[in-house]
Structure 1
């Protein structure tokens, strides 16, 4: 039990170290990217070249992924206080969330498609 907890803490510490390193690199270089993205890119490079096996961080990453909703949407914890509201208006809230998610995905896809078409027209052949 203690050994498993120590391993999880170590794996999460390694992931946090990559996040911190990515933030440091972003600050140092002035890159307009979040430190987490840079840190994950560094970790991906280490996975790809075989310096680190993904299985070594699987437990910590799995724990963080399982709790990701709590990291990104802390307001979900307050939903416990609004049970009656969710029972009466929950379908409307779900409809708004679904519609807004679809609109964001469509606008992102259209923007990427537009930029790809635009950049391909300006490429030297």
Structure 2
């Protein structure tokens, strides 16, 4: 069942209603997670629901595009608590902050290197087994 033409036209004109629709999908996902006990974030479930509706053309992209762009444009507002924490803890701007930054960068690099090595090893293992299978024919 597609959205009615009048509702679709109203959504197409109002950025606020489109943003509310995106938030509504998030809330629906949260509700499903809590009711069904799904071990995933509600936002992921909600956006998956929206993706299904978009893919099946039950929901038009124009019905959410401007609202989603508006939310993304103002995403910095969602990170204000982090900025306030830095202001409250001035030591993060000094040597302590540099140590924390080093740990974050080093751990990120370690994860990336370990992942690359694991993928490379799996790729070589699979290539060797494919070669053995072809040679045994």
| Structures share fold, TM-score greater than 0.5 | yes
Does structure 1 residue 17 correspond to structure 2 residue 24? Answer: yes
Pick aligned residue for 1:31 from 35, 38, 56: 38
Unaligned runs of 5+ in 1: 121-125
Residue 50 to residue 112, structure 1, CA distance change in 2 (3 Å): farther
Pick aligned residue for 1:60 from 30, 44, 67: 67
- What is the TM-score with the length of structure 1 in the denominator? 0.60
CA distance in 2, matches of 1:44, 1:52: 9
CA distance in 2, matches of 1:97, 1:10: 39
CA distance in 1, matches of 2:31, 2:71: 22
Unaligned runs of 5+ in 2: 1-9, 127-137
CA distance in 2, matches of 1:112, 1:33: 26
CA distance in 2, matches of 1:36, 1:7: 22
**Post-superposition, which runs of at least 4 consecutive aligned residues in structure 1 deviate over 2 A?**
67-70, 76-82, 88-107, 109-114
Q: Partner of 2:56 in structure 1?
A: 49
User: Which protein has the larger Cα radius of gyration, Structure 1 or Structure 2?
Assistant: 2
Aligned residues: 108
Does structure 1 residue 69 correspond to structure 2 residue 76? Answer: yes
